Amino acid sequence: MNHEMVQNLHNKLIIDKAREMGIECKPLFLGCEDFLELSYQGKKKLINKTRSHKLTLVAGLLAKNKDASNFLLRSVGLPIPEYRVVSEMSDEVVRFLNTYKVVAVKPLDAQCSVGVTLGIETEDQLIQAIQLAASHSDRVIVQKYIAGYDYRVLVIDGRIEGVLEYQPAYIEGDGTSTIEQLIHTLNENSRRQHNVGEFEAMKKVELESTDLLLNLKKQGKTIQDVLEKGERVQLFTSENVLASEMRVDRTDDICSENARLAIEAARTLDIDVAGIDIRCQDISVPLTQSHGGILEVNALPDMIDHIFPSQGTSREVIKAYLEYVVNE
């Protein structure tokens, strides 16, 4: 079956790479994309997108439960930011906010960053954030906010296969173009061509975005302003980075200590193909020195951004994944 007959992007990439590697790969049956069947050297393996056949039910459930996974990660000495799990606003979380000054709020068991609020500094902001998170989950995590950048470390079978840094989108002036024109160029340059279709290396920046216009105003800018050559303007703040973020490959920059911590996090939760979310100032500096922390361990890691980064080297993560699965 050709990759043209499937819809999921990960499955398209997996089927295309498998074909290149001489591995037969197809959906388990027509119309089913939840499971792909791999056939290689007389053996058959079933995978679920980027979940391997070796992921246990318990490990998968642990990855979804941030409270349980954080408990286990902290029990082996990994740097997990202080947090509280609550169902609603309370005196306890007010004291927590007063202690740490800035916090983040997220649903306990939601995925894809839905219901997440960062950089909360006041009780009113905290009330709104808890209400938002509670609309996606019965329980909510209120966590000490870690200043810095977000990183995703991809671990496959105890090896670091890719590291991404997520930055708020920015533009750099050329002395003649307006901010609007520079944003248009940024959007155009984010497109990536592949055998299975066209991909965007970052979410398109919408010129009508309220977050964009407010952030420009704070910097004394409008979209019609011309930037001087080399002048850099950040389009979004770290608090609303999800509006549009640049994914920068930092695989060669992660220090050995942070690599060890990421591998240990995956091992502790028994997740063989894991995406470790880390927040710190610089992934090349050990978390213990930079006051960074591990925020989450994902059991269905996105590999697309490692292949199509906004900046830096494309990594052969699908190949590494398939080699692990068929040779295990």
Q: pLDDT by residue (tens digit) across 162-186? A: 999 998 888 999 999 999 999 999 9
Residues 272 and 160 in one domain: yes
Q: What does the pLDDT look like over 283-299, one tens digit per residue?
A: 999 998 988 999 999 99
Residue 211: what pLDDT?
A: 85
Residues 179 and 38 in one domain: no
Residues 158 and 87 in one domain: no
Residues 237 and 257 in one domain: no
Out of 49-63, 92-106, 161-175, 185-199, which region has the weakest mean confidence (pLDDT)? 185-199
Residues 271 and 156 in one domain: yes
CATH of the domain at 152: 3.30.470.20
Residues 226 and 278 in one domain: no
Look up the domain containing 128 and give its range.
82-145
Among 213, 242, 271, the domain-final residue is 242
Residues 253 and 303 in one domain: yes
Q: What does the pLDDT look like over 313-322, one tens digit per residue?
A: 999 999 999 9
The overall average pLDDT reported for the chain is: 91
- Please check the confidence at residue 149 and state whether its pLDDT lies above 70: yes
Residues 86 and 112 in one domain: yes
Residues 162 and 265 in one domain: yes
Residues 162 and 231 in one domain: no
Across 65-78, average pLDDT? 94
Query: Based on the structure, what is the number of domains in the chain?
Result: 4
Q: What confidence tier does 238 reach under pLDDT thresholds 50, 70, 90?
A: low
CATH of the domain at 123: 3.30.1490.20
Among 205, 227, 242, the domain-final residue is 242
Residues 232 and 314 in one domain: no
Across 269-274, average pLDDT? 97
- Please check the confidence at residue 147 and state whether its pLDDT lies above 60: yes
pTM: 0.89
* Residue 92: exposure state from Cβ atoms within 10 A (0-12, 13-18, ≥19): exposed
Across 21-36, average pLDDT? 90
Across 193-212, average pLDDT? 82
- Please check the confidence at residue 108 and state whether its pLDDT lies above 60: yes
Among 207, 242, 277, the domain-final residue is 242
Residues 65 and 139 in one domain: no
- Please check the confidence at residue 244 and state whether its pLDDT lies above 90: no
